[in-house]
Amino acid sequence: MCHLDDYVLFGHLVPFIYDKFAMEAMGCVELMKLLAKDSFPAMLTASLTWETTAQLIFWQLAHGENVPIDWAVQVIPKLQYSKHAEAVGNIYIMLSRLDREPNISLLRALLSRPPSPPDMFTVDCLKILIGDSDSVPRIAELLGNLIEKAIHSGDLTPQSSQLFAHLDQFRQSCLSKASHLAEQFLARRELQLAFDNARKSDKVSTLRIRFSELFAVMEILSDDGAQNPRTSRRKAVKKSADLSDDEGKTKKKRQKCIVLDSDSD
């Protein structure tokens, strides 16, 4: 009943029990596992409204029991980047400790979040995942499959739009870093094939226009450019800058035309 009456006291008592009564506690299966897969998502959702201290204790228990990221997948779309700082930070920890290949459920949960510039959660998670070289091929394969599936099914909104938006945000945030991990990841054959098919498909013409800089960078980082990562990286950054400059010049020309028209009147 202590965990119901005073969860703060309960949080302090748990490590005390394992410390002072190690033999008894370690030999009790019921005490060894406080968290369960079926109830963890609901508990995690409820913890989002708890005070900071209570959340810290909850996550200490979760990490102590080595709770896998799979248990938290269904809550990921509900997390608010700025409001749920404790949960977001601890999801990062779970990803950094991932001891298995990422699965499609995890990628879908991350990409299902609405992409908005202040919210870097999905991009940060992708950066953590590709930081493990063993996971890179699997992540590229899963993302490539999601792009291919969206193209063939014709389901272009909102899922496809969100997918490309997150990848574009990843491009903007991660290119030209010292590690060059983003360039190497985007140059993966699985992703290049998916984007090549997207260029050829009429179904995604609106997305190609909307994410023109992303498609341009992916083209530069294609098989030929990927043979020289340093050169392709410079070209990719320059291409993005040129596209932005072109858009700015177009806007200025339009403004100038409007002024000339007004003067003629």
- Tell me the pLDDT tens digit for each residue of 160-207: 888 999 999 999 989 888 888 999 999 999 999 999 999 988 888 888
Instruction: Characterize 51-89 residue by residue with b for buried, 16 or more Cβ atoms within 10 angstroms of its Cβ, and e for exposed.
Output: eeebbebbbebbeeeebbbebbbebbeebeeeebebbbe
Nearest C-alpha neighbor of 113 from the set 141, 90, 84, 144: 84
CA 117-91-9 angle, 5° bins: 125
What is the model's pLDDT at position 257?
42
In this prediction, residues 5-24 reach a mean pLDDT of: 74
Q: Please answer whether residues 165 and 174 qualify as being in contact, where contact means their C-beta atoms are separated by less than 8 angstroms.
A: no
Residue 130 in tokens: 């590709």
What are the residue boundaries of the structural domains of the chain, listed by start?
1-98, 101-227
Q: Whose structure tokens read 């030999």? A: 27
> How would residue 4 be classed by pLDDT, with cut points 50, 70 and 90?
low
Model confidence pLDDT, tens digit, residues 131-163: 999 999 999 999 999 999 888 776 555 678 889
pLDDT of the residue at 151: 82
Phi, psi of 138 (to 5 degrees): -70, -40
31 versus 44: the higher-pLDDT residue is 44
pLDDT for 251: 47
pLDDT, mean over the chain: 81
pLDDT band at 210 (very low <50, low <70, confident <90, very high): very high
Q: Give, in order, the Cα–Cα distances in Å from 174 to each of 119, 166, 185, 245.
A: 15, 12, 11, 20
The model's pTM: 0.74
